[in-house]
């Protein structure tokens, strides 16, 4: 199942009717919790790819997110999925249990109520969210793979 995730993300990105807004969230001072921010700051914007880096305060970006031209919203964050570190998955918000993000105060279900468009979570399994400024090696590798997949999207 995990080996199918890059193909799942590639298939998702190849749907030409999508204008995707990626929102990177996370705490850069909590090691792997910064994965969403690491990714969002490295995505190239195009006509069909938009990016906002919200860090720890996605609630402060609700207006900006809803006013940005897109039909699909993808929130990028580290999420404990009980999988090996560095695993990642693209999950429709409806399929996510009502859990709170690792170091954020808002639940996924509550978050979805604020946005008008289709919402997915690009979840990355952390190895550690201890205090520190660097991603773990395995999570950084996964993030780099995600960045390559997103930046390959043809417009």
pLDDT of the residue at 8: 87
Residues of the chain with pLDDT under 70: 1-4, 97-109, 153-155
The alpha carbon dihedral of 106, 108, 109, 112 has a sign of positive
Give pTM, 2 decimals: 0.90
133-139: list long-range contacts, CB under 8 Å, 24+ apart: 133/28, 133/29, 133/31, 133/34, 134/31, 135/31, 135/32, 135/34, 135/35, 135/38, 136/31, 136/32, 136/85, 138/85, 138/86, 139/32, 139/35, 139/78, 139/85, 139/86
pLDDT of the residue at 1: 41
pLDDT of the residue at 102: 47
pLDDT of the residue at 100: 46
pLDDT of the residue at 57: 86
> How do the domains of the chain map onto residue ranges?
2-151
pLDDT of the residue at 98: 55
Going by C-alpha positions, the residue among 76, 78, 50 that lies closest to residue 64 is: 50
- 31 DSSP β-pair partners: none
pLDDT of the residue at 95: 82
CATH 3.40.50.720 fits 2-151, yes or no: no
């Amino acid at each position: 199942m995990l080996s199918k995730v890059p193909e799942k993300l590639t298939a998702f990105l190849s749907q030409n009717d999508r204008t995707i807004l990626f929102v990177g969230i996370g705490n850069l001072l909590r090691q792997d919790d910064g994965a969403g921010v690491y990714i969002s700051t490295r995505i190239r914007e195009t006509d069909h790819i938009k990016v906002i880096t919200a860090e720890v305060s996605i609630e402060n970006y609700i207006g900006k997110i809803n006013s940005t031209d897109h039909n699909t919203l993808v929130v990028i964050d580290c999420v404990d999925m009980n999988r090996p570190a560095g695993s990642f998955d693209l999950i429709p918000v409806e399929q996510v249990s009502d859990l709170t993000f690792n170091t954020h105060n808002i639940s996924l279900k509550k978050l979805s109520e604020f946005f008008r468009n289709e919402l997915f979570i690009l979840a990355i399994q952390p190895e550690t969210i201890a205090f520190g400024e660097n991603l773990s090696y395995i999570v950084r590798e996964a993030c780099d793979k995600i960045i390559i997949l997103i930046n390959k999207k043809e417009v």
